[in-house]
Amino acid sequence: MKSNLTRRRFMATTAAAGAAAMASPSILRAAGAPIRVGTYGGFFEESFKQFIFPEFTAATGIEVQSIAVPTGETWLVQIKNAARANTAPADVSLMAGTPRSEGASQGLFQTLDESKLSNLGNLSDTFQDRNADGGLFGVGGVSWYITLCTNSDEIPEAPTSWAALWDDQYADQIGVLGLATNSFLLEVTAATHFGGTDILSTKDGIAQVFEKLSEIVPNVRLWYKDEGAFQQALQEGEIPMGQYYHDVAGLAAAEGFPVVSTFPKEGGILDSGYWIVPQHVEPMDEVHEFINFMSTPETQALLSRNVGTAPVIDPALTDLSEDELAAVSSAGAPIIPRYDIYKDHADYISDTWNKMIAG
């Protein structure tokens, strides 16, 4: 349970970075040697080792060596440094949106051969990352929702729109994530008040959205960086409302805490990790086979049941029951983070965000 709560915590960064640094570079690889798969350290890696990798080995005969990787950009730097030495720290690994678009622009990832990915069609276009000339470099691996969570003792009638964040009656009662890059509140604001995230394509647009977003500041009691801190406060009713991870909120509710996760009508925030393949990786056939395996409905269902992630494919393809599906996702259209803006306007967003939250 504990590791589940902390699985996306950035604190895992350091440990994972150390583990990755120790992984040996692939100078020569013998046939039949395991491929090195990088997943977010902690609960993610444990679950993958326990439930997913054995299935893959059974299906293909390819052994897997598991590597814990950090969620942040640290992992990108390690890939970059390894590339200078003509090696890669892992053969295939999960990577979040912002570093992914940065790595792609620096040409750090290999273009994948779509003919070897027969299951690619299961994934919608959003889960297929392509560079300017259409080459595929990222394939959706796992995703999860951030929703509006409430304490039902304090707020019996859960709001159904993100607009609640702007509502005066919740003054000093809301908890949200502490960074622009992990709260995706710019996207939430754009979707709630500007009819979608397109407005974020320009700096002016971002400024307008910030203007609107800054109105929630008086309502925010906690800008959290640590999931545990907010979950504690939410369960106890100390901070009765805020954005939180849908799957963990569900687990808390299952344990009897008065926590309700609501998908607002504008959609939950769908954050995800994509599989990428660094330059200089040699066992490309095996890597393609791995990505293909991960894209099957069976594997996606396995992930939903055991890791608690939402499927990156059309849920109808899986054998997940309605309840199982509700535990990890919703049918409504999600808010998809605009990872590109955090690369293009990094300094501007970070400075404006810091000023805004400091009041």
Q: Which CB, 265 or 355, lies closer to other proteins?
A: 355
Helix, strand, coil: what percent of the chain each, to 5? 50, 20, 35
* One-letter amino acid of 229: A
Q: How far is CA 245 from the centre of its chain?
A: 10
Q: How far is the CB of 246 from other proteins (least distance, A)?
A: 22
Tokens (6 digits) for 32: 């039949």
Q: How far is CA 90 from the centre of its chain?
A: 19
Q: Which CB, 52 or 177, lies closer to other proteins?
A: 177
Q: How far is the CB of 93 from other proteins (least distance, A)?
A: 17
Q: Which CB, 101 or 299, lies closer to other proteins?
A: 101
Q: How far is CA 177 from the centre of its chain?
A: 14
Q: Cα separation of 321 and 343, whole Å?
A: 38
Say if residues 71 and 80 touch (Cβ distance below 8 Å): no
Q: How far is the CB of 223 from other proteins (least distance, A)?
A: 5
Q: How far is the CB of 172 from other proteins (least distance, A)?
A: 10
Q: How far is CA 49 from the centre of its chain?
A: 19
Nearest to 164 by CA among 206, 219, 118: 219
Q: Which CB, 114 or 238, lies closer to other proteins?
A: 238
Q: How far is the CB of 179 from other proteins (least distance, A)?
A: 5
Q: Which CB, 110 or 299, lies closer to other proteins?
A: 110
| Contact set with other proteins (CB under 8 A) | 10, 13, 72-74, 76-77, 80, 99, 105-106, 178-179, 181-182, 221-223, 225-226, 229, 232-233, 236-238, 346-347, 350-351, 354-355, 357-359
